[in-house]
């Protein structure tokens, strides 16, 4: 499978909705992406294409946390069509998105996700650096990546995703 990773275009919206809904087996996350696209600034998103069609998507949106420092983004969601999962599509999307964040001087990226998946990209438990999402029950699944060394210094507390996440 020849894979192309590129920035999301406005014309991708319908295909992205379909892929995200299929990946999560419901449309809540797809509706979240639709909502974020119109209101989050910056909104960093990529699609994975194979054979001329969208088979994967990733989005990064600003998050709020305590203390001064470089910008911080939340990775969510990442989605790959079910019949093309476990072929490196998600990993390619994560790498492209992290590179784009670094190029935009984002210092920290947070993700709520699988403990077996995200550490391979350098993510580590956010609670190790004093960050939490909603409550300590999320600590085993909440991760942070410092894209610039020391970006977490002097910062800690609860991380808040864009308000659109509250509706999912």
Q: Which domain holds residue 31?
A: 3-167
- Are the C-beta atoms of 62 and 75 separated by less than 8 Å? no
Banded pLDDT at 69 (limits 50, 70, 90): confident
Average pLDDT, the chain: 95
What would the two tokens of residue 62 be? 């600003």
CA angle 5, 7, 10 (to 5 degrees): 130
For residues 44-69, average pLDDT: 93
How many domains would you assign to the chain?
A: 1
The pLDDT assigned to 54 comes to 98
pLDDT single digits (tens) 84-116: 999 999 999 999 999 999 999 999 999 999 999
- The domain that holds 12 is classified in CATH as 3.40.630.30
Backbone angles phi, psi at 28, to 5 degrees: -60, -50
The pLDDT assigned to 115 comes to 95
- Are the C-beta atoms of 108 and 70 separated by less than 8 Å? yes
Q: Please determine, for residue 67, whether its predicted confidence score (pLDDT) is greater than 80.
A: no
| Residues constituting the chain | 168
The pLDDT assigned to 23 comes to 98
pLDDT single digits (tens) 6-41: 999 999 999 999 999 999 999 999 999 999 998 999
Q: Please determine, for residue 66, whether its predicted confidence score (pLDDT) is greater than 80.
A: no
What would the two tokens of residue 8 be? 């999301």
Got the DSSP string for 52-115? Answer: TEEEEEEEEEE-B-SSS-SEEEEEEEEEE-GGGTTSSHHHHHHHHHHHHHHHTTEEEEEEE--T
Taking every pair of Cα atoms in the chain, the longest distance, rounded to a whole number of angstroms, is 47
């Amino acid at each position: 499978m020849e894979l192309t990773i590129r920035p999301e275009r406005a014309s991708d919206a319908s295909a992205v909705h379909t892929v995200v809904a299929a990946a999560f087996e419901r449309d809540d996350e797809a509706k979240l992406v639709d909502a974020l696209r119109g209101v989050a600034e910056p909104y960093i998103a990529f699609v994975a294409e194979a054979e001329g069609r969208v088979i994967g998507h990733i989005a990064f949106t600003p998050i709020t946390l305590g203390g001064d420092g470089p910008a911080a983004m939340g990775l969510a969601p990442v989605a790959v069509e079910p019949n093309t999962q476990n072929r490196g599509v998600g990993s390619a999307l994560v790498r492209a998105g992290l590179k784009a964040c670094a190029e935009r001087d984002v210092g920290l990226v947070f993700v709520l996700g699988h403990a077996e998946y995200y550490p391979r990209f350098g993510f580590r438990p956010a609670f190790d650096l004093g960050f939490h999402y909603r409550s300590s029950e999320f600590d085993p699944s909440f991760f942070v990546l410092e894209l610039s060394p020391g970006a977490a210094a002097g910062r800690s507390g609860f991380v808040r995703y864009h308000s659109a996440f509250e509706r999912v």
